[in-house]
Chains A and B, each alone.
Chain A
Amino acid sequence: MNSMLVVAGKEFRDDFRNRWTIAVAILFAFLALGIAYFGGAAAGKVGFTSFAATLASLTTLAAFIIPLIGLLIAYHTIVGERDNGTLLLILSYPLSRTELVAGKFAGHCAALAAAALAGFGLAVAVIQLMQPPTRTLDAWLQIGNFMASASMLGASFVALACVISVMTDDKSRAAGLALVMWFASVVLFDLILLALLVFSGGNRAEQAVYPYLLLLNPIDVFRLINLTTLGHGAGNDLFMGMTASHVYRPAVLYLVMLAWIVVPFWVALRVFRRKEV
């Protein structure tokens, strides 16, 4: 446990040192503020709009960016050590393979969560100051919900990056696979669902499956957690339409999200334990 914390601390500090965390926090803050301020530009008005609309836009933004950053921050976790020639040395220390992967996973997750909290937190603080006050309990719960689910989304993609990292023997190949995974989960998956929805031609039996299919992608689980909390008026009508027949309880969605963290992490551990060094 102590060794795992030592590794986690190093990874966390490395992410700060490499300016990843700071750059990501700044990016989150700027994009969130930009969306909040210019989100209504298409309708001919700029300025901070309703809180729910801003959070809905932030959800869409986070669904694109957080998986990418989670993958980029962690794809080299193990394969990078192998490539650099440090893996053999580090494994000769009193450190099990489980502790090594868990430490790296925890360190990257903490760095990404810190960036999300700092970046989005700063944006939320500015929005709260600039727009008419909406400091109700609901608003704070929605913010907390967003922060927690964004951190979990990041963790699930860090775990998926760990799987890539232990399965590949080459860093550049791992980077390529990470990008393919991002494209598939952010773009391709929803496109395929959309195509299926169109071709099902209103078949009720087939359409009943879609809410469950959405659970097969952590990004959609993240969207579900936030958009169901914000309500149907919060945007992404097509997405909400897919789930109209089925309303998930937040606890169920959080459990599914947790599974999207635990299962890939477990797979990464199993693969790495069996791999020759």
Chain B
Amino acid sequence: MPNAIEITALGKQYGQVTALQTISATVPKGQVIGLLGHNGAGKSTLIKLILGLIAPTSGHVEVLGETPWGSHTHPLRRRLGYLPESVAFYGNLTGQEVIDYLASLKHAPRQQSRQLLERVGLGHAAGRRVSGYSKGMRQRLGLAQALLNSPEIVLLDEPTAGLDPQATRELYAIVGELRQAGRCVLISSHLLAELEPHIDGALILREGRLLAAGSLVDLRRQAGLPSIVSVRLNAQADGSALARELEHMGVVHELQPNGQLEIQVPEGSKVDVLRSILGHPVIADVEVREPTLARLYDWLGANRQGNAGEMP
């Protein structure tokens, strides 16, 4: 699959401060990628570089095969959508006027702006001034403008900040639709648990360095973190025989206060462990959980120095 974004030895320096250090990565089309990292990790700088809002100190970015900064970037910009963190609009204009203005700048079809307002649930408030919008409504308006002109790459910086759970679900539904339509979506977020079910891969930054880049499956494989098998026992059942068997297998396990047994299953021995415990009559239910994105993130932070990556 061709790449939407190609980053080659990209670096950005603000005076004495290094915001990004020679990062290399590729982001394929048709995938939803999480851009993860602490505050100050370089996420916003990377987004600005991809958008061509700033020029790099070193290295290069290609977005849809073109350089995003310098002159003659208008055609490329029409193919990108961007929702900034803490998005703000012109408070004296109505939602409809704001999106009409932005649609004119992007040469987007006029009727699309109304459709997008309906799509993000702002149709009823289109005639109201943006100064009267709640934070969630402004965020929805931000999402609507990011989708103007059906962009091939959508960059969303903390898109769910200020959104209620319903609006958050709707946002991720739109992200899913974009993926289905073959668009590339790059989402910067701190909310790893919320983000995890919706992304195909991640770029993980720390202090301007790229800790890891790849699909979640590959990143989990690289980290080798154990899966968690949560076992619920039958009422009044004695789980000591099961515990002894697990000890015999050398598998770490712990009885939780709620009576469930949590077993850490190393990568590669999941099937063996499950096969051996499932025959026990004391077991009422079993749940297998892959290492969470948060655990993966913590592990990478503790074990990787960076720098470079590629999305398989």
B80 part of interface (Cβ distance < 8 Å): yes
| Given A18-B92, A84-B88, A89-B84, also A94-B53 (CB < 8 A) | no
B104 part of interface (Cβ distance < 8 Å): yes
Total number of residue pairs linking A and B with CB closer than 8 Å: 62
B135 part of interface (Cβ distance < 8 Å): no
A6 part of interface (Cβ distance < 8 Å): yes
A86 part of interface (Cβ distance < 8 Å): yes
Q: Could you say which residues of chain B place their CB within 8 Å of the CB of A195?
A: none
| Least Cβ–Cβ distance between A272 and chain B, in angstroms | 13
Inter-chain contact B88/A85, CB cutoff 8 Å: yes
Interface string of B89-115 (1 = CB under 8 A from A): 111100000000110111100000000
A88 part of interface (Cβ distance < 8 Å): yes
A95 part of interface (Cβ distance < 8 Å): yes
B33 part of interface (Cβ distance < 8 Å): no
Interface string of A71-84 (1 = CB under 8 A from B): 00000000000001
Q: Could you say which residues of chain A place their CB within 8 Å of the CB of B84?
A: 85, 88-89, 92
B119 part of interface (Cβ distance < 8 Å): no
Main secondary structure on chain A at its contact with chain B? helix
CA distance A92 to B49 in the complex (A): 11
Closest to A93 in B: B105
The size of the chain A interface, using a CB distance under 8 A, is 22
Closest to A80 in B: B90
B304 part of interface (Cβ distance < 8 Å): no
CA distance A84 to B74 in the complex (A): 24
Inter-chain contact B102/A93, CB cutoff 8 Å: yes
Chain A 79-138 interface residues, beta-carbon cutoff 8 Å to B? 84-86, 88-96
Q: Could you say which residues of chain B place their CB within 8 Å of the CB of A96?
A: 71, 74
Q: Could you say which residues of chain B place their CB within 8 Å of the CB of A7?
A: 105
Inter-chain contact A17/B53, CB cutoff 8 Å: no
Chain B 179-223 interface residues, beta-carbon cutoff 8 Å to A? none
Question: Nearest 8 pairs between A and B by C-beta?
Answer: A85-B88, A94-B74, A94-B77, A92-B82, A93-B105, A6-B104, A88-B84, A92-B51
User: Which residues on A are within 8 Å of B, measured CB to CB?
Assistant: 2-3, 6-7, 10, 14, 17-18, 84-86, 88-96, 276-277
